[in-house]
Structures are given as structure tokens and as C-alpha cells.
Amino acid sequence: MSNIPDQLRYATSHEWIKVEDSIGTVGITDHAQQELSDVVYVDLPKVGAQVTAGSAVAVIESVKAASDIYSPASGEVIEVNPDLPAKPELVNKDPYGAAWLYRLKLSQPAELDALKDAAAYRAAVGE
Amino acid sequence: MNTPSVPLKKTALFDAHQKLGARLVDFGGWNMPVQYSGIVDEHKAVREAAGVFDISHMGEFFVSGDKALAFLNGLLTNNVAKLGESQGQYTLMLNEAGGVIDDLIIYRQAGSDYFLVVNAAKIDEDRTWIEKHLLPGVHFADKSFSYSAVALQGPKAIAIARALFGPGWPEPKRNQITSYSWNCQEILTARTGYTGEDGIEIFFKNEIAENFFFALLEAGKPFGLKPCGLGARDTLRLEACLPLNGNDLSDKRTPLEACLGIFVALDRPDEFIGKKVLLQQKASGLKEKLIAFRLKEKGPPPRPHYPLLRDGVPVGEVTSGAPSPTLGGGIGLAYVRADSAEPGTLLELEIRGSRLPVEVVKKPFYKRPS
């Protein structure tokens, strides 16, 4: 059973997004980090990059495999987590907090309606 | 690989894995544990104490009869004639072009009775190949589906086996196999493994698999024994530079290119399938070799199929790669041009468009303290 906070929105590809004043903060879910286990490397997007919802924007590498991370929303990347390159293990330890991946200025906030709430995501991962 | 409509095969330990909370994945058509507590945690348990792996998916073949030795020496690269009773050897089975069909361990149990342990994904191909070449006077049986097996590996493995089996257990020496009666059931114990550590591989009938597995875990508890999945098995074997068929070995690569020449008895007078090609290759020189390399700096881990370059020119391709839990940093195996295979050679590894410096290093990455 993984932690799925109520206040976030979720993509079926296991990213979460928290939106405040049309700024979205993105990370991967507790379920996803459990599935990946032992994260050893994180490749983040560049600040200033324009990303579209559903496109691969980052890579998280575990011992076993490299996994693409898909942006749950469109917009401009305005900040990336400076701690992750040196401490990729934060993804396993604190996926909803210290291991946020990047922040973006949403260009199409209406896209968020297509994402799942906590209950729907919980159902999607079978918990 | 497997289509969703084909149900995954399960070993006799499937329920045990579920009870222990393993994460199960499709591994070549088998539903196998990739990890229990975590790959790095399990990897360290094997290096520092002990781990146990379900290897029931592997194939168990039995070959016997007056002509068994001649038959096996016609199919395998090493020299079966060198096996004393209870001894085993690593060997390879090649196609006519010298490419690897499978790598395996053959044990001479007694007299003309041989026991072969083959890769799970190759059971059908191996059986078909063996049956196609079978000689009169040779009996062959594929008992893969009635046998289960576990690998008990790590510096504490032998102590755990002694604790479980008691003083009557005939402890096999390196590469030896012995049989033992555990709770009135015959089991085979072989001093072999795929982790770079000391340990044994234990073979038994499916009927006792779960009882045996839990008894072993219980006996190993005071020693720090952990159940381990295929994830840790892969990082452990990679650090020890033990090749994985399908990655580092293939039907397009010869054992000479894989730098496994010491397991190829080219000097024996009799023929084996593939020998002619290997002799030609040896005479004309190898174009490519399987090398070990390390990332020179922190970066994403190497993965199969990533290109390797030298001064910007492609010279090879990665076949296995991972972050090394023991060494820290990325390690891998790759086939590269023979002129770039010397330890100390600096190459570039291309990962998602970036090029990272790597160095060819001597094998293995990890050798257990003797």
C-alpha cells in the first residue's frame, strides 16, 4: 500500500502535480518509487524548456532500468530540483517532498482536468 | 517476448515468493521475483553474509550411457573427459558457425551419468539441439519441470548449509556436486554459483521445494541470510564478469570473442560443433572482444545497446550495464574493436546524446577476498 496524498493530481504514468497560482510542481508517486526501487540517477529538464503534457521530459534511473518521466501538464520549466543530481536516493525517501523534480508555469491549466484525483489514481494502481 | 495471452510459467516457489512480499516480473516467460527488500540491500547481503535465489526456472538435463562422454564432447567446448566423478565444469554449446547456443555447467555424477544445468530461456532450444544430435547408446532426459533449485551464495553460505544439513552432509569442494538425503528426500548440492561469492546451488524435486526453501531461510536467519531476486543476481554476476546469455553471449558471438577461451578445449583431438570456425578465428585474429569498462565520473549507468566510441568513432556496443553496488559508479560489459580492448584504453559512452568518459578495465570488477 503506497501513500497517495489527497491534495495532488495524478497521471496514469505515475507522476503527481501540485498547482498553486498556475505554477505546477511535478514529481513521481510513492507507488512509482517503490516499483523503481534504488534510484541512482536523475536526468532533469532544462530551465526554460517548453514541455507538453504527455511528453518525456526527465529520466529516472534505478539499478535495473532507465524510466522516462512524462510531464503531466504543458508549460515552461521555471525551476528544477538542485538537490537531486547529487542525492537521487531522495526519490525513494521523500517522493512528494524533497524529491520534487521540476516546476513549470502552466500554459494550459485546463489540461489538469484530464488528470486523476487521489481516489481514481489509487484505483488505477490497484490499491 | 511473452504475449499477454500466454500465461507466465511459475516455479514451485511462486507462493513462497508471494508470502515473502517479493515483486514478481516476467522474466523470459517466467513469473520470477526481481526483488524482495531491494536490489542493493540484497546485493550487499550476498557480498557480506548470504542470499538465496530461486533458480528453479533453469533447466536440468540428464545424459547417460556408454557413449555419453563421446556424445557430450562432440557438443560442448570444454573437455568432459577431464571430469572426475562428482566434478563439474563450465562449458558452452555452439552452433555450426561457432556462435553460442547456451552456456552451462556439466557435472559428472558417477561413471557415465552426467547432469547439465542450462539457462531457462534456452531449455527448448537446447533440448531440440541435443535430441537432433543424439547418438545410439546415449540416454537423454529433460527433467526441468520436475526439478526446483535454489542458489545459496555468500561468505556465510557454507556455514548456513552446515547448520541446515548437519554433520552428515558431504560438503562439495569447488565445482563438485554431492547428493544428500534431506528429510528422506534426495537433494543435489553443487559448489557453484553466479555471484562471485562462495556458495552452493541446490537441486531437488518440486514436491519439497517450499518446505526446503523455508527451512533454509530459517536456518540462515542467525547468519543474516536474505531471499534475493533476479535484480541482485544480475548486478552480482556483472561485478564478477560472469556472462549472461542473451546479453553478453549470443548465437552471433563465439566464446573466443567473449574471452571465454579457457573453457574451449581447442587442443583436444576430437571434434566438437563449432570447433572449425573457432580454429579459423584463432588463426586470423579476433575483430572484436568482450571487455569490461567503468565510468570515469558520476553519471547515468550504462545499459545494453549504448554505443561506445573512441575519439568520436564508434568502436562497440554495451551488452550489460548497471550501477555497481560494491564499487559505486557505472560498470558494464561491451563488445569493442580488438584494437580498443586493452585495459587502460579510454572510450566514450553515449547516453541520450551525451558522451561520458569510460575506461576499459581488467576483469573481473569484483573478486572475493581469498
d(CA B264, CA B255): 8
Q: Which percentage of chain B shows pLDDT scores above 90?
A: 96
Please give the pLDDT value at position B5.
Answer: 62
In-domain check, residue B223:
yes
Contacts of A34 (CB under 8 A, 6+ apart): A2
Write the pLDDT tens digit of every residue in A48-105. Answer: 999 999 999 999 999 989 999 999 999 999 999 999 999 999 999 999 999 999 999 9
Judge contact between B59 and B144, C-beta under 8 A.
Answer: yes
Phi, psi of B197 (to 5 degrees): -110, 165
Interface test with B, best of A2, A33, A37 (most B CBs within 10 A): A37
Picking from B180, B209, B239, the residue at the C-terminal end of a domain is: B239
Whether pLDDT at B7 is above 50: yes
Number of domains in chain A: 1
B103 with B217, same domain: the answer is: no
Please give the pLDDT value at position B324.
Answer: 97
What residues of chain A lie within 8 A of the CB of B303, using their CB? 65-66
DSSP annotation of A94 reads -
In-domain check, residue A3:
no
User: Cβ A63–B303 below 8 Å, yes or no?
Assistant: no
A35, A37, A41: residue with CB nearest B301:
A41
Instruction: With cut-offs at 50, 70 and 90, classify the pLDDT of residue B2.
Output: very low
Residue of B nearest to A68 (CA): B352
Chain A / chain B CB contacts < 8 angstroms:
40
User: Cβ B299–A59 below 8 Å, yes or no?
Assistant: no
B151 with B46, same domain: the answer is: yes
A37, A59, A65: residue with CB nearest B352:
A59
DSSP letters of A84-102? Answer: TTT-TTHHHH-TTTTT--E
Number of domains in chain B: 3
Residue B39 touches partner A, C-beta closer than 8 Å? yes
Kind and range of the H or E run holding B343: none
B39, B40, B303: residue with CB nearest A66:
B303
B160 with B97, same domain: the answer is: no
B94 with B118, same domain: the answer is: yes
Whether pLDDT at B350 is above 50: yes
Higher pLDDT, A27 or A36: A27
Per-residue pLDDT, averaged over B238-263, amounts to 98
Write the pLDDT tens digit of every residue in B255-280. Answer: 999 999 999 999 999 999 999 999 99
Please give the pLDDT value at position B116.
Answer: 98
Domain that holds residue A43: 9-108
Write the pLDDT tens digit of every residue in B186-233. Answer: 999 999 999 999 999 999 999 999 999 999 999 999 999 999 999 999
What residues of chain B lie within 8 A of the CB of A64, using their CB? 34, 39, 231, 234, 322
Whether pLDDT at B3 is above 90: no
Whether pLDDT at B98 is above 90: yes
Residue B34 touches partner A, C-beta closer than 8 Å? yes
What is the CATH number for A17? 2.40.50.100
What is the CATH number for B369? 2.40.30.110
Domain that holds residue B297: 287-370
Q: Which percentage of chain B shows pLDDT scores above 70?
A: 99
Whether pLDDT at B343 is above 50: yes
Helix (H, G, I), strand (E, B), or coil: what is residue B245? strand
In-domain check, residue A2:
no
What residues of chain A lie within 8 A of the CB of B25, using their CB? none
In-domain check, residue A119:
no
Spatial CA neighbour of B86 closest among B191, B218, B172, B177: B177
Judge contact between B62 and B115, C-beta under 8 A.
Answer: yes
Please give the pLDDT value at position B4.
Answer: 54
In-domain check, residue A117:
no
Whether pLDDT at B53 is above 80: yes
B215 with B76, same domain: the answer is: no
Please give the pLDDT value at position B256.
Answer: 98
Instruction: Give the gap in angstroms from C-alpha B160 to the nearest C-alpha of chain A.
Output: 28
Please give the pLDDT value at position A5.
Answer: 97
In-domain check, residue B282:
no
User: Cβ B39–A63 below 8 Å, yes or no?
Assistant: yes
Write the pLDDT tens digit of every residue in B306-327. Answer: 999 999 999 999 999 999 999 9
Per-residue pLDDT, averaged over B72-97, amounts to 98
Write the pLDDT tens digit of every residue in B176-198. Answer: 999 999 999 999 999 999 999 99
d(CA B263, CA B100): 13
What is the CATH number for B223? 3.30.1360.120
Instruction: With cut-offs at 50, 70 and 90, classify the pLDDT of residue B49.
Output: very high
Instruction: Give the gap in angstroms from C-alpha B340 to the nearest C-alpha of chain A.
Output: 27
User: Other C-beta atoms within 10 Å of A16: how many?
Assistant: 28
Residue of B nearest to A60 (CA): B300
A61, A63, A65: residue with CB nearest B40:
A63
User: Cβ A66–B300 below 8 Å, yes or no?
Assistant: yes
Compute the radius of gyration of chain B from its Cα atoms. Answer: 21
Identity of the residue numbered A113? D
